[in-house]
Structure formats: structure tokens, C-alpha cells
Structure 1
Amino acid sequence: MNKDRRSFLRNTSLATGLLLLQNPFRSLATINSNATWLPGDNREIMIWHTNDLHGQITDLRPANAQGVFLDAGDFLDDTANVDAHMKMIAAMNKAGYHAATIGNKELANGQAALAALIPHMQFNLVNCNYHFSDKSLARQVAPYKIVYAGSLKIGITGVGHALPASSGVTCLPPVQAANEMAIRLKKEQGCQIVICLSHLGYRQPGNTADNRDVAMESTHIDFVIGGHQQKIISTTEVFRNVNNHEVYLSQAGSNGVMVGTMKMKFNEDRKGCGIEPGCVMA
């Protein structure tokens, strides 16, 4: 069955605006060193997201905005020099990013070059399907990030597409890696939400995995933030995963023209009860 047919069968209307998360709320579990604590009222969380910034500094997120700020990769410009990279990282630090995944442009100058930039980042780089030959980079890239908003617990992971053999990066099957990490975040870490930053592209030919596959072929991912192909998803798409649960897919505009937003709402039992997707345009 081809991807378009699967998409037709599994994609659902956004009219309901409901997200019924698979697992009930679990009490906050192990304190994780790779965690951030944010203020929250336990009833909603705002997620701000970008992708494919390509070194374009954006200030579309309102000052003092609350919530989680994420990027789905290619935030650096592969043609820029180190000074330009440092300016971009400083801008992302100032904007308050919490996590980003790794795109091909971050690795354009080699693993060691990226490893040298990471100490200047006040946000985590997350990826669960790359194995790095550079030991310094391998130590500095986390398989996931935890964010607490009030007593809501959000798990964030990321995946990337296959890179040339010359990169020295071994790429595991991204959908399988993302799903296995999501299961770990839900069942072992007790997360209410799992977000995957997917730098695979919206639509890939044949059996090449894309962002839609991450949504449709998963079991425990709730929200996929896409990147790699320069496409704007004008309204959040809703897919059904293999367990027939809703999974959201969003992708903002490239080069800083748009910041996507997603407000996820919860009832008194901390079960998902609605969403408010949106965006801020330049």
C-alpha cells in the first residue's frame, strides 16, 4: 500500500480538535539531569516550533512567551562561517529554545565542527537514530530531552535522514528508532506527551521514511514537528497511528518566515482534551 493511500485511510479531520493520549497520567518519576522546569498550570502547554531556519534569525516569538520552544533541524546555514554560526546560536539562546534536532546542514562541515559549537548552545540537541564516529559529538547529543510544565511531563526526541557515508554518521531506521524512544519516554519516564522533531521531509518517494511515516507508523508519539523539505503545513494535520490514536503533524515555513504554535489542553486528570494550532507569520 503506497503512502498516499495509507495517508488517505489514516488521516482524519481536524474539526474535532481532540487529542486522546494513549496513557493515563503517571506521577512524576525519575529526576533526569537532562530536564528543564517551566511554570505551568497543569491544564495546558504551548509549543512553539521552527524548522529550516538556514541561519536566518527570527524574532517572531513574542517576548516573554511561555511554553516549549523547539526546532526541527537545519537551523544553521551550511555556507556560513563560524562567526555566523555563533551569531545564530546566540540568537536561539536569547529566544529561549529548549531543544533542536540535527539536520544535514548542521553536519555540513563535519562532526567535529558541530561538536565545537554545542558548548555555546543553551538548548539541547536531540537525536535517537544517528550514531556518531566523533566521540565528542556522541557525548554531547542527547537521545531525548525532558521538559516539565507544572506537573505535565513532555518527552522530546528527534530523528534525521540518511547521510552520505563520508559523513561518518551511521543512520538507524528513523521510524523504528523514534517509536522505540517514544515507548521508553511514555512507559519508563512517565511522559504525558511525546514530541518527535523529524528532519525527514514531508513526502519522500518509495520506501524512504518521511515525517508522515513517523506519525502513521508509531505507537506512542503524539506530535511530530517536521522539517527538511521546505513546505508549510497551513493547518495541523491529524493522522491515525498503528493503534488508531491521533497523532499531529505540523511544519512551519523555512528561512524564518513563520513560527508554528500548538496549544495542547488537558483535563483535571491530565488527559488530553483539545488543541489550538496556529502560527505567527513574518
Structure 2
Amino acid sequence: MKRRDFLKTTALGAAAGWAMWPADVWAATTVRLTVLHTNDMHSRIDPFPNDGRTNGGLGGMARRATLIHQIRQQEANVLLLDSGDIFQGTPYFNFFGGELEYKLMTQMRYDAATLGNHDFDNGLAGLQRQLPHAGFSFLSANYDFNQTILKSRFQPYKTFEKQGIKIGVFGLGIELAGLVDPKNYGATMYLDPVQRAADMVKQLREKEKCNLVICLSHLGYKYETAKMDDRKLAQQVAGIDLILGGHTHTFMAAPEKFTDSNGHETLVNQVGWAGINLGRIDFNFSKKNKQKINVATAVLPVGQPVISS
């Protein structure tokens, strides 16, 4: 499978002529940020058996680590993010309670993740036990843990800087009531994700002066009911550049694009589940004014050779 077969490019602004620029001129005037992302890994450490089943031979954390390493060797500015449900689904979780997942993600140098509903499957105490093994940040803007043993353990957002480009990342989780046994989340309070997202955009744009705002969401991609999802969030909260979703295990060939009345574009993406795919989104920024010039996206199957275009 060749990368050009699933590479999708979206123009943002005056992108028509950029590809014709000499490579040295392009490199001197732009900064490329590569965002890699996963969701709903569900403790899938090994590849799926290659026995004729759907997705047979795909996935596996060792293979993902190799792919990420290859991309980091090629790209100077990489962010690696996850949208929740790291836990639950294989005997690895049953035996080790999430320790292995966090240790392997730390070795892969994940930068940040958010919490999914299954990350509460061993209760707040079980989550607390595993957090020391995670060498990356957990971001949660709409879960209030102040009345629990996890008070002050999570940040609502985090900022990163890559070659002068400032990126703000925040996390949103799904309502736990009805999905998780109440004893597993205790006094955790669920806050309105729309209001909290608007708060985060204001904080990251106005106070932190971020050039790019990313939401790690475990709300789910799309529901036919009034239940909040990533598509509704993109349409109701202005100022988010990228929503990286989870929960619904949605395989998307390319991000969905929403444009508000001011012309601001929000991309929504999700890459299935179980580490079968690694999502890649390349943002190119002008060095002069730090504005986005264009975006290129790809879905990278983990376990199949990828040929760079």
C-alpha cells in the first residue's frame, strides 16, 4: 500500500502555488508540524493474528513504535497524542492493570492523552496505581476530580512549542453515567464539554497565544441523538483547529472539515481502534506570521509497508 494512495491534501489559504516553490525556499520560509495520533487502543499490545480475520496481521505496539521512530527521523517537529480508552480488551490488562500500556506509550514518547470511559474500569484507585508508569500528560478539561483521590492529578490543557509555533492541547471525556459503574468513578463530576471547550479555546488563544488548538476528545464521532459528539462540538465551538476523537471506533479515510462563519476551519478525525492505524496530520505554517498555509493528512496502517510520496 503506497502512501500516495491514501494521502489527502486540504488547501488552507493560498496553497495553489506552494508546491512549485524550490525546496530550499519552502524550508526557509515554513515550519512543518507533524501530529501523530491514536485512539481506543484497548490494551492491544500484539498484532491481530494473521489468520484471515478482518484486520489480521495489523497493529501491534512494537510495529507502531518502529513507524513512529521512522517518522521522527524524517520530521523535526512531531507531537504524538492519544484520545483515550487505552485500557481494557486483552489479557495484558487483566494481568497487569494497564502498567504495560503506559510503559510502552512512554517508550514511544507520547506527549499527551485524554481519558476514555474504559480507563476507569479498575476504578479510581486502579487508575491512580498506574499513573506513575505514564511519562506523558493526561489532559481532562471536563472531569472534575476535586472530591476524589485523583485531585490535582490531571491538567485541563498543555502547551507545546515547536520551532516557534505554539500548540495548545486540551482533553474532553464522555459522560460516565450509564457507561461506567458508579463505584469506578466515584465523586468525579462531569462538566459540560461545550462550555469547557469554549473556555479552553479562550484560554489557549487569548492568554497562551497559541497558533494551533487541538482537542483530544473521547465524546464519539457522530450520534443521531442530541448527545454531544465531535461533529456537534466542531460546529458549536469556534476556534478549535483539530479534534482528534475516540470512543466510537470510527475508521476515517480523511478528516471531516467544518468551516464557521468567520472562515475558521476545524478538522475532525478518528483512526478506528486497537492501534490498527496511526493517524498523521502535517500542518505547514509561515515562519513570518505563524499562520497555517496548508494541511496534509494520511492514515498509516500499522503492519503494512508505507512508501513515502
Asked if TM exceeds 0.5, the reply is yes
Q: 2:294 aligns with which of 257, 274, 280?
A: 274
Unmatched segments (≥5 aa) in structure 1: 1-13, 21-40
Whole-angstrom CA distance in 2 between matches of 1:49 and 1:262:
9
Whole-angstrom CA distance in 1 between matches of 2:30 and 2:127:
36
Counterpart position of 1:4: none
Label 1:105 to 1:16 Cα distance change in 2 as closer, same or farther (>3 A). Answer: closer
| TM-score, normalised with respect to structure 2 | 0.75
Unmatched segments (≥5 aa) in structure 2: 1-7, 15-28, 46-60, 303-309
| TM-score, normalised with respect to structure 1 | 0.82
Counterpart position of 2:69: 63
Counterpart position of 1:219: 238
1:46 maps to amino acid: T
- Local SS of the residue matching 2:122: coil
After TM superposition, give the deviation of residue 19 of structure 1 in Å: 6.6
After TM superposition, give the deviation of residue 45 of structure 1 in Å: 0.4
Counterpart position of 2:196: 177
What are the equivalent positions in structure 2 for 1:117-266 lying under 5 Å apart?
117-132=130-145, 135-164=148-177, 166=182, 167-168=185-186, 169-241=188-260, 243-266=262-285
2:156 maps to amino acid: P
Higher fraction of helix: 2
Whole-angstrom CA distance in 2 between matches of 1:241 and 1:82:
47
After TM superposition, give the deviation of residue 81 of structure 1 in Å: 2.9
Post-superposition Cα deviations, 1:211-242, rounded to whole Å, max 9, x if no partner, equal: 11221111121100010001111111111236
- When Rg is computed on C-alpha atoms for both structures, the one with the higher figure is 2
> What is the aligned residue count?
249
Contact preservation (8 Å) 1:199, 1:227: yes
Post-superposition Cα deviations, 1:105-159, rounded to whole Å, max 9, x if no partner, equal: 1111211221221121100000100112554412111100111111111100010
Counterpart position of 1:17: 11
Give identity over the alignment, percent: 31
Of residues 194-203 and 238-247 in structure 1, the stretch that sits farther from structure 2 once superposed is: 238-247
Whole-angstrom CA distance in 2 between matches of 1:117 and 1:84:
8
After TM superposition, give the deviation of residue 15 of structure 1 in Å: 6.4
Counterpart position of 1:74: 85
Contact preservation (8 Å) 2:285, 2:292: yes
2:109 maps to amino acid: G
Of residues 192-201 and 72-81 in structure 1, the stretch that sits farther from structure 2 once superposed is: 72-81
Whole-angstrom CA distance in 2 between matches of 1:242 and 1:138:
39
- Flag as ranges the 4+ runs of structure 1 deviating above 2 A: 14-17, 57-62, 78-82, 133-136, 241-244
Contact preservation (8 Å) 2:167, 2:210: yes
Root-mean-square deviation (CA), in Å?
2.1
After TM superposition, give the deviation of residue 269 of structure 1 in Å: 1.3
Label 1:19 to 1:84 Cα distance change in 2 as closer, same or farther (>3 A). Answer: farther
Contact preservation (8 Å) 1:19, 1:246: no
- Local SS of the residue matching 1:43: strand
- Local SS of the residue matching 1:181: helix
